[in-house]
Chains A and B, each alone.
Chain A
Amino acid sequence: MPAGRARRAASAGLLLCSLAGCAGGAAGADDGRLDVLVTSYPLQYVAEQVGGDDVVVTNLTPPGGDSHRLEPAPHEVAALSGADVVVHQSGGMQPAVDDVVAQEEPEHLVDAAPLADRGADPHFWLDPLRLAEFGRTVAGQLAAVDPDHGADYRARADRLDVTLRSIDGEYAEALAACRGATLLASHEAFGYLAERYGLRQMGVAGLDPYVEPPPSRLRKVADEVADSGARTIFFEATAGSAVAEVLAADLGLGTDVLHPVERVAAGETYPDLMADNLAALRRGLTCG
């Protein structure tokens, strides 16, 4: 949204509105359910799984939206301060939201940042066990705010834990023979996944799945991946045929898709995308 528009909305509001309780505009707050505001899809998934029917979850990042670039509009800033619980991951993944959260100081904030302890890489949720741990954290906070449903939140967190452990089990089993294999990623989002399953993530810069790369970039990639033993470059989206052909012909590399599960389209879910990712890894990694 253009800044000018937001500014105008804000100033118009100043003139017209009173302090009356519509600030929590995210959802109908009077039905007894908790208003939970989340700032990205992985957090939404956890909040919905753990909160169940006792909460209304609103995601500041719309489906398919770019979570990094999210700049909350004024009404969303207010939703942040009006929500019963805010679930956010600070640490620079969404700098504009970080600023607003720091400024608004939501009364109940669950911050996923401690789970993302691999340097600057925010994508902790690609390790299902880390996400399970976060589920328990969210359940604890929801129970604290809404003690009447505390047992329900904990029970749902347990169910989420079972789901995520099952995903972890599938990964561990399928990738057991791949330990040490190089995961060539065009977007280095898979560090937590690689760490959990004994893979070596290597970033391959300069390749767009839709744009046939110039020879200078192909050479760089060839230099980078030489000796890695890898045979597939994982993109975030299906590579165009021209790109796939040139990578195959010039570098002997296949292409496949790994989804960072960061921005999802309507209908896509964490378990489904993780299953797709595992299938791609099984196809593309060089395993013993």
Chain B
Amino acid sequence: MRPLPTPSLRAVALMTTLPLALATGCASTDGTGAAASTPTEASAPAEPTEVGASAPRLALTYDGGVQVVDATTLEVLADEPLDGFNRLNAAGDGRHFLVSTQGGFRLLDGGAWAEEHGDHDHYYTAEPQLTGELLPAEKPGHVVAHAGRTVLFDDGTGQITAFDSAAVADPDRETRDLRTPSAHHGVAVELGDGTMLVSEGTEDARTGVRLLDADGAELAASDDCPGVHGEAVAGEDTVVIGCEDGVLVVAGGGITKVASPDAYGRIGNQAGSAESPVVLGDYKSDPDAELERPTRVSLIDTTDASLRLVDLPSSYWYRSLGRGEDGEALVLGTDGALHVIDPVAGAVTRSIPVIGAWEESEDWQDPHPQLVVVEGTAYISEPATQSLHAVDVASGKVWKSASLTVTPNEVAGVSGDVEEHAEHEHTGDDEHVE
């Protein structure tokens, strides 16, 4: 990972090798070599500080801006003004966030990263900041980071942009660009073997997926996925795509339909884990509901393409899903508890009271409690009390809580570490789009 999004000095040094003998004549006369410049660079990042261990970071949006929080101390490290309703995604490099905002995906530097140093890593922190980097999009939609690649979907144009996650801050990053035949609220995932799974549909009807090879040629397709929405990766490279009547399991170049037990059994938001072949999904069964408050979740076992439902003690909403470090399925309930589900047994093993009871609002853009998991810690925001809680999933303990000065809306997390290429802790994201 590059430490700074600025052109490398090394490159400068090499480019100018020949003339340098000339250049330094004056450098040595004043003893500094930099007399010709003044330190007025507008956005020159502060010098990084080396720290003893990786420093995970959270970002949260509020009405008027975005804050970056130290995930270990829960201290607010930066507060950047940003108008509008903004959405947050981890960028996939362990350091940055992509903020879906007016005009595209804006890069937010979480300010913590690792640099590989032989057989171990060194860790650095710097001041988090909204960078000037904007990846333009008419209607910035899903961001999916998997296997070291980040894929952006522009709902306004159907444009798909994929690049190495580690190059997210590099304006000269190499991109792989595709466009779906029709613009729609879509999603795309690039798999470890370079194939690309792309949703298919129009603004009016989303119908299925296509699996494309590196040259864009179709390897497989399915139109058996009405209302296609959301993705999650199970284990290494198995993708589960949500439909209004089940899911599609994409593995080894093939696509398998897994039906819901109900004719309308909508799965649209999923959470996968590298530690588990079972994907956690939401589950809605009332096609006529304006606002269904589901109390069941789905568990999709990708090893045998089976699907089962688990009853919960409470309802939940689309940002309630997550996975623990050992693959536990996590659901933040409207009863204020974090429900821990054994994905193999299909049973709730523990309900951890964390926040007060809450209710899903008619307007999905209203601040709601959110769940994001980083390194085995479940972070839960509570807009009603302007607070943030850190729950150790394995022990069931709330180990830290903090007050915020703003009402948190969306929350996302990054590890501050070199991302293993097996990073699958992204959820299927939302069903909502403007």
Contacts and interface: CB of A to CB of B under 8 A. Distances in A.
Given A207-B52, A214-B392, A25 B37 contact: no
B50 interface: yes
A14 interface: yes
A245 to B, nearest CB: 15
B3 to A, nearest CB: 7
A188 interface: yes
A10 B20 contact: yes
B119 A13 contact: no
A153 to B, nearest CB: 27
B385 interface: no
30 contacts: A3-B6, A4-B6, A4-B41, A5-B39, A5-B41, A5-B44, A8-B36, A10-B12, A10-B16, A13-B22, A13-B27, A16-B25, A17-B25, A22-B24, A74-B33, A75-B23, A75-B32, A78-B21, A81-B21, A120-B118, A120-B119, A122-B118, A186-B53, A187-B52, A188-B120, A214-B392, A215-B392, A216-B377, A217-B53, A235-B52
A72 interface: yes
Interface string A60-78: 0000001011011111111
Contact of A104 (B17, B26, B29, B115): B17
A171 B52 CA distance: 26
Contacts of B45: 2
Nearest to A4: B41
B105 to A, nearest CB: 24
A155 interface: no
A149 interface: no
A2 B44 contact: yes
A17 B22 contact: yes
A133 interface: no
A7 interface: yes
A59 B265 CA distance: 68
A203 to B, nearest CB: 6
A107 to B, nearest CB: 14
Contacts of A207: 52-53
Contacts of B377: 214-216
Contacts of A76: 33
B52 A78 contact: no
Interface in A260-280: none
A18 B12 CA distance: 20
B22 A186 contact: no
Interface of A: 1-14, 16-20, 22-25, 66, 68-69, 71-79, 81-82, 92-93, 95-96, 99-100, 103-104, 119-122, 186-188, 203, 205-217, 219, 235-237
Nearest to B10: A96
B7 A3 contact: yes
B14 interface: yes
Interface stretch (B209-217, B232-240, B393-401): B393-401
A16 B122 CA distance: 40
A82 B72 CA distance: 47
Contacts of A205: 53, 120
Contacts of B9: 1, 3, 6, 71-73, 96
Given A22-B24, A213-B53, A214-B400, 11 more contacts: A2-B39, A3-B8, A4-B41, A9-B37, A16-B26, A69-B115, A121-B118, A188-B119, A211-B73, A214-B392, A214-B399
Task: Sort chain B's interface into a size bin.
Answer: 35 or more
B8 to A, nearest CB: 7
B34 interface: yes
Interface string B33-70: 11111010100110010111111000000000000000
B36 A99 contact: no
Nearest to B33: A75
B390 interface: yes
Q: Report which residue of B20, B72, B375 has the largest number of chain A beta carbons within 10 angstroms of its beta carbon.
A: B20
B23 A13 contact: yes
Contacts of B54: 206
Contacts of B32: 75
B378 to A, nearest CB: 10
A100 B13 contact: yes
Contacts of A100: 10, 13-14
A275 B388 CA distance: 46
B156 interface: no
Given A5-B39, A7-B12, A8-B37, A203 B120 contact: yes
